[in-house]
Amino acid sequence: MDAISVIRTKRDRGELSDAQIDWVIDAYTRGEVADEQMSALAMAILLNGMNPREISRWTNAMIRSGVRMDFSSLPLPTSDKHSTGGVGDKITLPLAPLVAACGAAVPQLSGRGLGHTGGTLDKLESIPGWRALLSNEEMMDVLRGAGAVICAAGDGLAPADKKLYALRDVTGTVEAIPLIASSIMSKKIAEGTGALVLDVKVGSGAFMKNLDDARELARTMVGLGTTAGVNTVALLTDMSTPLGLTAGNALEVRESVEVLAGGGPADVVELTLALAREMLAAAGVHGKDPADALRDGSAMDHWRRMIAAQGGDVDAPLPVAREQHVIPAPASGVLTRLDAYAVGVCAWRLGAGRARKEDPVQAGAGVEMHAKPGDTVVAGQPLLTLHTDTPERYDYAIAALEGGIEVAPAGTAFTPNPIVLDRIA
Protein backbone atom coordinates (compact mmCIF):
# COMPACT_ATOMS: atom_id res chain seq x y z
CA MET A 1 0.00 0.00 0.00
CA ASP A 2 0.98 3.62 -0.48
CA ALA A 3 -0.76 6.89 0.33
CA ILE A 4 -0.84 8.18 -3.24
CA SER A 5 -2.80 5.20 -4.55
CA VAL A 6 -5.34 5.55 -1.73
CA ILE A 7 -5.72 9.28 -2.44
CA ARG A 8 -6.15 8.65 -6.17
CA THR A 9 -8.86 6.04 -5.56
CA LYS A 10 -11.04 8.49 -3.66
CA ARG A 11 -10.06 11.44 -5.85
CA ASP A 12 -11.36 9.52 -8.85
CA ARG A 13 -14.64 8.71 -7.03
CA GLY A 14 -13.75 5.10 -6.36
CA GLU A 15 -14.53 3.00 -3.29
CA LEU A 16 -11.76 2.45 -0.79
CA SER A 17 -11.28 -1.24 -0.03
CA ASP A 18 -11.21 -2.55 3.53
CA ALA A 19 -7.48 -3.14 3.13
CA GLN A 20 -6.87 0.42 1.93
CA ILE A 21 -8.82 1.91 4.84
CA ASP A 22 -7.14 -0.29 7.45
CA TRP A 23 -3.71 0.51 6.03
CA VAL A 24 -4.10 4.28 5.70
CA ILE A 25 -5.51 4.74 9.23
CA ASP A 26 -2.78 2.60 10.75
CA ALA A 27 -0.02 4.23 8.69
CA TYR A 28 -1.25 7.75 9.52
CA THR A 29 -1.35 6.92 13.23
CA ARG A 30 2.24 5.67 13.05
CA GLY A 31 3.42 8.71 11.06
CA GLU A 32 4.09 6.83 7.84
CA VAL A 33 1.41 8.88 6.05
CA ALA A 34 2.18 12.61 6.27
CA ASP A 35 -0.29 15.33 7.27
CA GLU A 36 -0.34 16.75 3.74
CA GLN A 37 -1.24 13.34 2.33
CA MET A 38 -4.06 12.80 4.83
CA SER A 39 -5.23 16.36 4.09
CA ALA A 40 -5.54 15.45 0.41
CA LEU A 41 -7.45 12.27 1.25
CA ALA A 42 -9.76 14.15 3.62
CA MET A 43 -10.55 16.68 0.89
CA ALA A 44 -11.26 13.87 -1.59
CA ILE A 45 -13.66 12.33 0.96
CA LEU A 46 -15.35 15.70 1.49
CA LEU A 47 -15.88 16.10 -2.27
CA ASN A 48 -16.74 12.52 -3.21
CA GLY A 49 -18.18 10.97 -0.06
CA MET A 50 -18.12 7.42 1.29
CA ASN A 51 -20.70 4.65 1.22
CA PRO A 52 -21.96 3.02 4.46
CA ARG A 53 -19.47 0.16 4.23
CA GLU A 54 -16.54 2.57 3.89
CA ILE A 55 -17.76 4.71 6.81
CA SER A 56 -18.22 1.67 9.04
CA ARG A 57 -14.78 0.29 8.17
CA TRP A 58 -13.14 3.72 8.63
CA THR A 59 -14.78 4.08 12.05
CA ASN A 60 -13.70 0.61 13.16
CA ALA A 61 -10.15 1.24 11.96
CA MET A 62 -10.06 4.40 14.08
CA ILE A 63 -11.32 2.45 17.10
CA ARG A 64 -8.69 -0.26 16.53
CA SER A 65 -5.94 2.38 16.45
CA GLY A 66 -6.16 2.53 20.25
CA VAL A 67 -7.70 1.06 23.37
CA ARG A 68 -11.32 0.67 24.49
CA MET A 69 -12.59 1.77 27.90
CA ASP A 70 -14.82 -0.24 30.21
CA PHE A 71 -17.23 1.29 32.73
CA SER A 72 -18.83 -1.97 33.83
CA SER A 73 -17.34 -1.56 37.33
CA LEU A 74 -19.41 1.58 37.95
CA PRO A 75 -22.56 1.10 40.05
CA LEU A 76 -24.60 3.32 37.67
CA PRO A 77 -25.52 3.00 33.99
CA THR A 78 -23.56 5.33 31.71
CA SER A 79 -24.95 7.86 29.25
CA ASP A 80 -23.13 10.40 27.11
CA LYS A 81 -23.97 13.23 24.73
CA HIS A 82 -22.20 14.69 21.75
CA SER A 83 -22.91 17.88 19.83
CA THR A 84 -21.79 18.36 16.24
CA GLY A 85 -20.87 21.94 17.16
CA GLY A 86 -22.56 25.29 17.23
CA VAL A 87 -22.25 28.91 18.31
CA GLY A 88 -22.88 29.55 22.00
CA ASP A 89 -23.30 25.80 22.49
CA LYS A 90 -22.34 25.47 26.13
CA ILE A 91 -24.92 22.74 26.78
CA THR A 92 -22.41 20.06 27.87
CA LEU A 93 -21.38 22.15 30.87
CA PRO A 94 -24.72 22.16 32.73
CA LEU A 95 -25.92 18.89 31.13
CA ALA A 96 -23.29 16.47 32.48
CA PRO A 97 -23.76 17.33 36.18
CA LEU A 98 -27.52 17.56 35.68
CA VAL A 99 -27.78 14.00 34.35
CA ALA A 100 -25.46 12.80 37.12
CA ALA A 101 -27.78 14.39 39.69
CA CYS A 102 -30.64 12.31 38.24
CA GLY A 103 -28.91 8.95 38.54
CA ALA A 104 -26.74 8.18 35.50
CA ALA A 105 -22.95 8.38 35.23
CA VAL A 106 -21.71 10.70 32.46
CA PRO A 107 -18.26 9.99 30.97
CA GLN A 108 -18.08 12.98 28.61
CA LEU A 109 -15.12 13.07 26.24
CA SER A 110 -15.00 16.49 24.60
CA GLY A 111 -12.87 18.41 22.13
CA ARG A 112 -11.50 21.85 21.38
CA GLY A 113 -12.82 24.51 19.04
CA LEU A 114 -13.34 23.66 15.38
CA GLY A 115 -13.44 26.73 13.14
CA HIS A 116 -16.21 29.14 14.12
CA THR A 117 -17.66 26.76 16.73
CA GLY A 118 -16.44 26.79 20.29
CA GLY A 119 -14.83 23.84 22.06
CA THR A 120 -16.02 22.50 25.42
CA LEU A 121 -12.47 22.00 26.69
CA ASP A 122 -11.50 25.56 25.71
CA LYS A 123 -14.44 26.87 27.73
CA LEU A 124 -13.69 24.82 30.83
CA GLU A 125 -9.99 25.68 30.74
CA SER A 126 -10.97 29.28 31.51
CA ILE A 127 -11.70 28.04 35.05
CA PRO A 128 -8.46 28.52 37.04
CA GLY A 129 -6.70 25.22 37.67
CA TRP A 130 -9.12 23.00 35.71
CA ARG A 131 -7.47 20.09 33.86
CA ALA A 132 -8.72 18.53 30.65
CA LEU A 133 -6.13 15.75 30.50
CA LEU A 134 -6.87 12.87 32.87
CA SER A 135 -5.57 9.32 33.04
CA ASN A 136 -8.13 6.53 32.80
CA GLU A 137 -7.76 5.99 36.54
CA GLU A 138 -8.35 9.67 37.28
CA MET A 139 -11.37 9.68 34.99
CA MET A 140 -12.88 6.76 36.91
CA ASP A 141 -12.18 8.45 40.24
CA VAL A 142 -13.98 11.63 39.12
CA LEU A 143 -16.93 9.57 37.87
CA ARG A 144 -17.22 7.72 41.17
CA GLY A 145 -17.00 10.91 43.21
CA ALA A 146 -18.98 13.39 41.12
CA GLY A 147 -21.05 11.19 38.82
CA ALA A 148 -19.80 13.07 35.76
CA VAL A 149 -16.50 13.92 34.10
CA ILE A 150 -15.71 16.15 31.13
CA CYS A 151 -12.23 15.61 29.75
CA ALA A 152 -10.10 15.13 26.66
CA ALA A 153 -9.82 11.74 25.06
CA GLY A 154 -6.61 10.11 26.25
CA ASP A 155 -3.78 9.40 23.85
CA GLY A 156 -4.72 5.74 23.81
CA LEU A 157 -8.35 6.29 22.79
CA ALA A 158 -8.77 6.43 18.99
CA PRO A 159 -5.39 8.16 18.49
CA ALA A 160 -6.00 8.21 14.73
CA ASP A 161 -9.00 10.45 15.30
CA LYS A 162 -7.05 12.80 17.56
CA LYS A 163 -4.58 13.47 14.74
CA LEU A 164 -7.24 13.73 12.06
CA TYR A 165 -9.55 15.91 14.18
CA ALA A 166 -6.93 18.64 14.49
CA LEU A 167 -5.99 18.33 10.81
CA ARG A 168 -9.56 18.77 9.58
CA ASP A 169 -9.88 22.02 11.52
CA VAL A 170 -7.16 23.71 9.47
CA THR A 171 -7.74 22.17 6.03
CA GLY A 172 -11.38 23.08 5.31
CA THR A 173 -12.62 19.49 5.69
CA VAL A 174 -14.58 19.73 8.94
CA GLU A 175 -17.92 19.48 7.12
CA ALA A 176 -17.34 16.04 5.52
CA ILE A 177 -20.20 13.85 6.78
CA PRO A 178 -18.20 10.56 6.71
CA LEU A 179 -15.37 12.19 8.68
CA ILE A 180 -17.71 13.84 11.19
CA ALA A 181 -19.60 10.59 11.77
CA SER A 182 -16.50 8.42 12.09
CA SER A 183 -14.71 10.95 14.30
CA ILE A 184 -17.58 11.22 16.76
CA MET A 185 -18.54 7.57 16.81
CA SER A 186 -15.02 6.13 16.98
CA LYS A 187 -14.41 8.03 20.22
CA LYS A 188 -17.85 7.33 21.66
CA ILE A 189 -17.78 3.60 20.86
CA ALA A 190 -14.20 3.25 22.14
CA GLU A 191 -15.18 5.23 25.23
CA GLY A 192 -17.51 2.41 26.19
CA THR A 193 -20.64 4.35 27.20
CA GLY A 194 -23.84 2.32 27.29
CA ALA A 195 -26.09 5.04 25.84
CA LEU A 196 -25.45 8.02 23.61
CA VAL A 197 -27.55 11.04 22.65
CA LEU A 198 -26.38 13.04 19.62
CA ASP A 199 -27.19 16.73 19.28
CA VAL A 200 -26.98 17.32 15.52
CA LYS A 201 -27.03 21.05 14.83
CA VAL A 202 -28.82 22.47 11.78
CA GLY A 203 -28.54 25.98 10.35
CA SER A 204 -26.13 28.71 9.38
CA GLY A 205 -23.97 28.30 12.48
CA ALA A 206 -23.76 24.51 12.14
CA PHE A 207 -21.68 22.36 9.83
CA MET A 208 -24.95 20.90 8.54
CA LYS A 209 -26.77 23.82 6.90
CA ASN A 210 -30.01 22.02 6.01
CA LEU A 211 -32.25 19.32 7.45
CA ASP A 212 -31.53 16.76 4.74
CA ASP A 213 -27.78 16.79 5.41
CA ALA A 214 -28.37 16.76 9.16
CA ARG A 215 -30.69 13.76 8.89
CA GLU A 216 -28.11 11.94 6.77
CA LEU A 217 -25.44 12.55 9.38
CA ALA A 218 -27.75 11.62 12.25
CA ARG A 219 -28.87 8.39 10.59
CA THR A 220 -25.25 7.48 9.81
CA MET A 221 -24.18 7.97 13.41
CA VAL A 222 -27.22 6.28 14.93
CA GLY A 223 -26.55 3.31 12.65
CA LEU A 224 -22.89 3.12 13.66
CA GLY A 225 -23.76 3.30 17.35
CA THR A 226 -26.59 0.78 17.19
CA THR A 227 -24.45 -1.70 15.27
CA ALA A 228 -21.79 -1.38 17.97
CA GLY A 229 -24.33 -2.10 20.73
CA VAL A 230 -24.64 1.46 22.02
CA ASN A 231 -28.23 2.67 22.57
CA THR A 232 -28.05 5.74 20.30
CA VAL A 233 -30.57 8.54 19.70
CA ALA A 234 -30.17 11.82 17.79
CA LEU A 235 -31.95 15.14 18.17
CA LEU A 236 -31.75 17.64 15.31
CA THR A 237 -31.61 21.12 16.87
CA ASP A 238 -31.68 24.65 15.50
CA MET A 239 -28.45 26.58 15.03
CA SER A 240 -29.59 29.50 12.88
CA THR A 241 -29.25 31.77 15.94
CA PRO A 242 -26.61 31.42 18.68
CA LEU A 243 -27.62 29.50 21.79
CA GLY A 244 -27.99 31.69 24.81
CA LEU A 245 -26.60 35.19 25.14
CA THR A 246 -22.85 34.50 24.95
CA ALA A 247 -20.32 33.03 22.53
CA GLY A 248 -16.83 32.66 23.98
CA ASN A 249 -15.03 30.66 26.60
CA ALA A 250 -15.30 32.24 30.08
CA LEU A 251 -18.47 34.03 28.96
CA GLU A 252 -20.17 30.70 28.31
CA VAL A 253 -18.95 29.17 31.58
CA ARG A 254 -20.56 32.07 33.44
CA GLU A 255 -23.84 31.50 31.60
CA SER A 256 -23.71 27.75 32.28
CA VAL A 257 -23.38 28.37 36.01
CA GLU A 258 -26.46 30.61 35.80
CA VAL A 259 -28.40 27.66 34.31
CA LEU A 260 -27.21 25.34 37.10
CA ALA A 261 -28.32 27.97 39.62
CA GLY A 262 -31.87 27.78 38.25
CA GLY A 263 -31.68 30.75 35.85
CA GLY A 264 -30.05 31.33 32.48
CA PRO A 265 -31.47 31.93 29.00
CA ALA A 266 -34.67 30.05 28.15
CA ASP A 267 -33.28 28.37 25.02
CA VAL A 268 -30.26 26.98 26.87
CA VAL A 269 -32.46 25.65 29.67
CA GLU A 270 -34.94 24.10 27.20
CA LEU A 271 -32.29 22.23 25.23
CA THR A 272 -30.40 21.14 28.36
CA LEU A 273 -33.57 19.59 29.78
CA ALA A 274 -34.53 17.94 26.46
CA LEU A 275 -31.12 16.29 26.13
CA ALA A 276 -31.02 15.30 29.80
CA ARG A 277 -34.35 13.49 29.49
CA GLU A 278 -33.16 11.66 26.37
CA MET A 279 -29.90 10.63 28.06
CA LEU A 280 -31.70 9.28 31.11
CA ALA A 281 -34.27 7.40 29.03
CA ALA A 282 -31.56 5.88 26.81
CA ALA A 283 -29.74 4.68 29.93
CA GLY A 284 -32.93 3.22 31.39
CA VAL A 285 -32.95 5.64 34.34
CA HIS A 286 -36.42 6.77 35.39
CA GLY A 287 -36.83 8.77 38.55
CA LYS A 288 -35.87 12.34 39.29
CA ASP A 289 -36.94 14.91 36.70
CA PRO A 290 -34.01 17.07 35.48
CA ALA A 291 -36.01 20.26 36.02
CA ASP A 292 -36.23 19.39 39.72
CA ALA A 293 -32.45 18.87 39.85
CA LEU A 294 -31.94 22.43 38.59
CA ARG A 295 -34.40 23.83 41.12
CA ASP A 296 -33.18 21.97 44.19
CA GLY A 297 -29.46 22.66 43.70
CA SER A 298 -28.39 19.03 43.25
CA ALA A 299 -27.13 19.67 39.71
CA MET A 300 -25.01 22.55 41.02
CA ASP A 301 -23.61 20.27 43.73
CA HIS A 302 -22.47 17.75 41.11
CA TRP A 303 -20.95 20.59 39.01
CA ARG A 304 -18.90 21.83 41.95
CA ARG A 305 -17.66 18.34 42.78
CA MET A 306 -16.81 17.62 39.15
CA ILE A 307 -14.86 20.85 38.61
CA ALA A 308 -12.99 20.55 41.93
CA ALA A 309 -12.09 16.91 41.22
CA GLN A 310 -10.35 18.06 38.03
CA GLY A 311 -8.34 20.74 39.83
CA GLY A 312 -10.63 23.68 39.14
CA ASP A 313 -11.22 26.46 41.64
CA VAL A 314 -15.01 26.68 41.56
CA ASP A 315 -15.10 29.97 43.46
CA ALA A 316 -12.30 31.77 41.60
CA PRO A 317 -13.27 34.71 39.38
CA LEU A 318 -13.41 33.83 35.69
CA PRO A 319 -11.09 35.68 33.29
CA VAL A 320 -12.38 38.94 31.82
CA ALA A 321 -11.10 40.41 28.54
CA ARG A 322 -9.11 43.62 28.82
CA GLU A 323 -11.13 45.45 26.17
CA GLN A 324 -14.82 45.72 25.27
CA HIS A 325 -16.53 47.31 22.28
CA VAL A 326 -20.28 47.88 21.94
CA ILE A 327 -22.15 47.30 18.67
CA PRO A 328 -25.40 49.36 18.70
CA ALA A 329 -28.71 48.36 17.16
CA PRO A 330 -28.75 49.78 13.60
CA ALA A 331 -32.46 50.77 13.73
CA SER A 332 -35.57 50.63 15.90
CA GLY A 333 -37.98 47.74 15.48
CA VAL A 334 -37.97 43.97 15.84
CA LEU A 335 -34.69 42.08 15.65
CA THR A 336 -35.47 39.37 13.10
CA ARG A 337 -32.00 37.98 12.41
CA LEU A 338 -28.87 37.44 14.47
CA ASP A 339 -26.99 34.98 12.31
CA ALA A 340 -25.18 32.25 14.22
CA TYR A 341 -22.37 31.91 11.71
CA ALA A 342 -21.68 35.66 11.69
CA VAL A 343 -21.54 35.76 15.50
CA GLY A 344 -19.37 32.63 15.61
CA VAL A 345 -16.83 34.02 13.15
CA CYS A 346 -16.82 37.32 15.04
CA ALA A 347 -16.04 35.53 18.33
CA TRP A 348 -13.38 33.42 16.59
CA ARG A 349 -11.69 36.53 15.18
CA LEU A 350 -11.76 38.20 18.59
CA GLY A 351 -9.59 35.36 19.90
CA ALA A 352 -12.15 32.87 21.24
CA GLY A 353 -11.19 30.32 18.55
CA ARG A 354 -8.13 29.24 16.63
CA ALA A 355 -7.04 29.46 12.99
CA ARG A 356 -4.32 26.80 13.36
CA LYS A 357 -4.26 23.72 15.55
CA GLU A 358 -1.27 25.13 17.49
CA ASP A 359 -2.95 28.48 18.27
CA PRO A 360 -3.87 29.45 21.84
CA VAL A 361 -7.29 30.90 22.61
CA GLN A 362 -8.20 33.87 24.79
CA ALA A 363 -10.23 32.84 27.82
CA GLY A 364 -12.12 36.14 28.02
CA ALA A 365 -12.72 36.77 24.31
CA GLY A 366 -16.12 36.47 22.70
CA VAL A 367 -19.46 38.08 21.98
CA GLU A 368 -22.15 39.03 24.49
CA MET A 369 -25.66 39.43 23.04
CA HIS A 370 -28.13 41.87 24.56
CA ALA A 371 -31.09 40.88 22.37
CA LYS A 372 -32.26 37.82 20.43
CA PRO A 373 -34.51 37.54 17.36
CA GLY A 374 -38.06 38.48 18.28
CA ASP A 375 -36.96 41.17 20.75
CA THR A 376 -37.84 44.84 20.25
CA VAL A 377 -34.78 47.09 19.97
CA VAL A 378 -34.21 50.83 19.82
CA ALA A 379 -31.68 52.38 17.45
CA GLY A 380 -28.41 52.99 19.26
CA GLN A 381 -29.03 50.66 22.19
CA PRO A 382 -26.33 48.07 22.88
CA LEU A 383 -26.96 45.03 20.72
CA LEU A 384 -23.64 43.18 21.10
CA THR A 385 -20.58 43.66 23.26
CA LEU A 386 -17.31 42.36 21.81
CA HIS A 387 -14.67 41.16 24.29
CA THR A 388 -10.96 40.71 23.52
CA ASP A 389 -7.46 41.22 24.90
CA THR A 390 -6.30 42.40 21.47
CA PRO A 391 -8.35 45.40 20.27
CA GLU A 392 -6.52 45.44 16.95
CA ARG A 393 -8.83 42.54 16.07
CA TYR A 394 -11.99 44.65 16.24
CA ASP A 395 -12.24 45.76 12.61
CA TYR A 396 -11.74 42.23 11.31
CA ALA A 397 -14.23 40.82 13.82
CA ILE A 398 -16.87 43.47 13.12
CA ALA A 399 -16.60 42.75 9.38
CA ALA A 400 -17.86 39.22 10.09
CA LEU A 401 -21.18 40.66 11.29
CA GLU A 402 -21.99 42.33 7.96
CA GLY A 403 -25.35 41.04 6.73
CA GLY A 404 -25.84 38.97 9.87
CA ILE A 405 -28.10 41.42 11.71
CA GLU A 406 -31.56 42.47 10.51
CA VAL A 407 -34.12 44.74 12.19
CA ALA A 408 -37.67 44.92 10.80
CA PRO A 409 -40.21 47.71 11.46
CA ALA A 410 -41.98 47.71 14.83
CA GLY A 411 -44.96 45.38 14.89
CA THR A 412 -43.46 42.89 12.44
CA ALA A 413 -44.55 39.37 13.32
CA PHE A 414 -41.70 37.00 14.14
CA THR A 415 -41.90 33.26 14.79
CA PRO A 416 -38.66 31.66 16.01
CA ASN A 417 -37.61 28.18 14.93
CA PRO A 418 -38.29 25.45 17.48
CA ILE A 419 -35.19 24.33 19.37
CA VAL A 420 -35.71 20.63 18.59
CA LEU A 421 -36.46 20.07 14.90
CA ASP A 422 -36.54 16.26 14.71
CA ARG A 423 -35.65 13.07 16.53
CA ILE A 424 -33.97 10.02 14.99
CA ALA A 425 -33.62 6.70 16.77
Q: Tell me: pLDDT of 42 over 80.
A: yes
Q: What is the average pLDDT across 303-311?
A: 98
Q: Within a domain: residue 70? A: no
pLDDT beyond 90 at 108: yes
- Asked if the structure places residue 63 within a domain, the reply is no
Are residues 38 and 183 both part of a single domain? no
Whether residue 363 sits in one domain with residue 303: no
∠20-160-341 over CA atoms, to 5°? Answer: 110
pLDDT band at 97 (very low <50, low <70, confident <90, very high): very high
Q: Which domain holds residue 22?
A: 3-49
What digits encode the pLDDT tens for the residues 189-223? 998 999 999 999 999 999 899 999 999 999 999 99
Q: Would you say residue 315 lies in a domain?
A: no
Whether residue 131 is predicted with pLDDT greater than 70 in this model: the reply is: yes
At residue 339 the predicted structure's pLDDT band, cuts being 50, 70 and 90, is very high
Q: Which region, left, alpha or beta, applies to residue 301 given φ > 0 means left and ψ of -120 to 50 means alpha?
A: alpha
Output the pLDDT for position 358. Answer: 72
Whether 56 is covered by a domain: the verdict is no
Environment class of 314 (CB within 10 Å of its CB; exposed 0-12, middle 13-18, buried 19+): middle
57 located within any domain = no
Q: What is the CATH number of the domain that holds 88?
A: 3.40.1030.10
Same-domain status, 164 and 112: yes
pLDDT digits over 220-241, tens only?
A: 999 999 999 999 999 999 999 9
351: domain CATH number is 3.90.1170.30
Q: Residues 366-425: pLDDT tens digits?
A: 999 999 999 999 999 999 999 999 999 999 999 999 999 999 999 999 999 999 999 999
Evaluate whether 194 touches 107 at the Cβ level (below 8 Å). no
If you write DSSP's letter for every residue of 201-249 in order, what string do you get? EESTTSS--SHHHHHHHHHHHHHHHHHTT-EEEEEEEE-SS-STTEEEH
User: What is d(CA 239, CA 321) in angstroms, rounded to the nearest whole number?
Assistant: 26
Q: Contact, 384 vs 327, CB < 8 A?
A: yes
Judge whether 25 and 62 are in contact, CB under 8 Å. Answer: yes
Q: How far apart are CA 198 and CA 239, in angstroms?
A: 14
CATH number at residue 34: 1.20.970.10
* pLDDT at residue 93 greater than cutoff 80: yes
Note the pLDDT tens digit of each residue in 121-130.
999 999 999 9
Residue 304 confidence (pLDDT): 98
Any domain includes 317: no
The answer on 345 and 305 residing in a single domain is no
At 357 the pLDDT is: 65
Same domain, 392 and 366: yes
Query: Are 248 and 335 part of one and the same domain?
Result: no
In this structure, the answer to whether residues 331 and 232 fall within a common structural domain is no
Active site residues: 82, 161, 168, 183, 187
pLDDT (average), residues 144-153: 94
| 68 found inside a domain | no
* Alpha-carbon distance values, 317 to 126, 149, 161, 200, 382 (Å): 10, 22, 34, 33, 25
| 29 and 120 co-located in one domain | no
In this prediction, residues 49-70 reach a mean pLDDT of 94
pLDDT at residue 114, as a whole number = 67
Split at pLDDT 50, 70, 90, the class of 266 is: very high
Examine the fold and report which residue of 249, 274, 309 is the final residue of a domain before the chain moves on.
Answer: 309
User: Over pLDDT 90: what percentage of the chain?
Assistant: 86
Give the count of domains, the chain.
3
Is residue 363 located within the same domain as residue 264? Answer: no
* Pairing verdict, β 231-238 and 106-110: unpaired
150-178 pLDDT, tens digit per residue, is: 998 877 888 998 899 888 878 889 888 89
End-to-end CA distance of the chain: 38
Helix 18-30 / helix 3-11 crossing angle, nearest 10 deg = 130
Span 36-59, mean pLDDT? 96
Residue 118: pLDDT band with limits 50, 70, 90: confident
Residue 336 falls inside a structural domain:
yes
C-alpha 303/C-alpha 92 separation (Å) is 11
Contact (CB, 8 A) for 416 and 340: no
Residues 160 and 287 in one domain: yes
Please state, in angstroms and as integers, the Cα–Cα distance from residue 184 to each residue in 60, 62, 217, 322, following that order: 12, 11, 11, 36
- Same-domain status, 30 and 90: no
pLDDT of residue 170: 80
Mean per-residue pLDDT of the chain: 95
**298 and 328 part of one domain:** no
67-81, 170-184, 238-252, 312-326: the lowest-pLDDT one: 170-184
State yes or no: pLDDT of 359 exceeds 90.
no
Q: How far apart are CA 174 and CA 51, in angstroms?
A: 18
